[in-house]
Every structure is written in C-alpha cells, then in structure tokens.
Amino acid sequence: MESNLQSSEIILFAGTGILIMVALALVMVSYANRAQRRILTQRMEAQATEIQHQQELLERNLAVQEEERQRIAAQLHDDICSKLGVLHLTFHRLRRTETEKEQYAEMCEEINDLIADTLETTRRISHELVPPTLEGFGLLEALDELCEQIRNTGAVDIRFEHNITRADLQDVTTELNLFRIVQELSNNSLKYAEASFIQVKIIKEEDEVRLHYSDNGNGFDMDENNSRGLGLKNIKNRAKIIGAQHKISTAPGQGFELVLTMLI
C-alpha cells in the first residue's frame, strides 16, 4: 500500500515537474517571439523612417531644381532681356545717324541681327526653364506647345493624344512633374536616340491615368544606362513624387517606351 502511494507521489511530482518545465519553455518561447517581434517592429519603423527621409530629400532636391529654374528664368527675363531691349532701341537711334563710312550700314545690320537673335534665344531659354503656358493654362496646353516646337524643327514627327481634362490631374505638382518627364524624354529622343517618330499619350481609364511615351530611336542597354547619367533617375524620382508606377522597355536598336500609371 505504502509502495503504491510512493509511486503515485513520484508520478505526481514528475508530472508536476514536467508541467513546470513545459510552462517555463512556453514562457521562454513567448518571450523570444515577443522580442523578435519587437526587433522586427523596430527595424520596420527604422526602414520606414529612412524611406520617409529619402523621400523628403528627393522632393526637396527636385523643388530646389525648380526654384533654380525659376530664378534663372526671372534673371534672364528681368535683367538680360531688359538690357538687350534698351540696347536694341539705342542701336536704332544709331542707325539713323548719318555717316560717310561705307561699312557702316553692313556693321549696323550685323549688330542688329545679333541683338535680335540674342533676344529670341534668351526668351526661348526663359520659356523652356519655366514654360508660361504650363503655369497659365496647364499641362495639356504646355505639351501641345512643346510638341509643336519639336515638330517645327523638322527633325522628328511627334504626336500627342489625350482623353483627359486638366481637372483629372489633381494639382500643379502633378502637372509640373509630368511635363518635366516628357520634356526630359523628348530631349533624349532628339539628342541621343536619333528618333524619327515620337508618340505621347495621356489616357484616363476608370480610376487611372496613364502617360505613355515611345520613340523609334536607337534604344539602349538599361543596365549600362543605370550606372551613368541623371536623366532616368530624375524621371523615376518625379514618378515617386506624384505616386506613380512606371515601366520602361528598351534595348539597343529597339526604341524606347515608358508607361507611367497613377491613381486618381
């Protein structure tokens, strides 16, 4: 009888010990899991903070670029253009002055052409830096004007299609960044790709707006291009600022295509 009691006590003590050990193990596992979750949460918060910091730096960098464009444009318009305008008027007074030298008329004509050309170049640069059409009438009118300027060069055939209104684009930041993206891409098509045809589309479908840009130029190797130049980096950064997804398709000899999609 006593032997049976002792066996029962031993079993009870052993069972209790096992339960205590299991409980301790569960506590340790729970603690370890909480510690891992805490570490993971801290890492995720740190990554989110870093991403936010990088986004703020990116937006500030592009904002500084736009501010610098506006500053240069203002200086071109207010300072250089005004001084050249005065010089132009003064020169016309000089032309009415009589002189006996035979080269006088030729020199006046050369100076007049130079001043006129400088004035036109300065105005063009000023408009390219901060297009007045974009500020006054919005993206669609500005892109129409940009395409017309490119078309007038006779170097490339460019077509622009859209089915949206200005209200679909939400704000001036979106308009500005979309314009800069098309401006950068068209410059690349003209200067480097040697394209003969460019197509620009801005299409609205349900709750999305897509910018589609393509050319039939030389194309390039994406891996090589990613390691040089800032053109594509600026385009990608501008897409991030307006919350757009982008996809680029290109290869040597196969032209270039960008599809940029954003929710509205």
Does the pLDDT at position 57 exceed 60?
Answer: yes
| 138-264 under CATH 3.30.565.10, yes or no | yes
- The whole-model pTM stands at 0.61
pLDDT in tens, 213-263: 999 999 988 877 654 455 788 888 889 888 899 999 999 999 999 999 998
Bridge partners (DSSP) listed for residue 140: none
Does the pLDDT at position 164 exceed 90?
Answer: yes
Mean pLDDT of 52-70: 70
Could you tell me the two tokens for 167? Answer: 């209200």
CB atoms within 10 A of CB 216: 18
pLDDT in tens, 87-142: 777 677 666 666 666 666 776 777 777 777 777 777 777 666 667 788 788 999 99
**Whole-number pLDDT of residue 227:** 43
What are the boundaries of each domain within the chain?
Answer: 1-130, 138-264
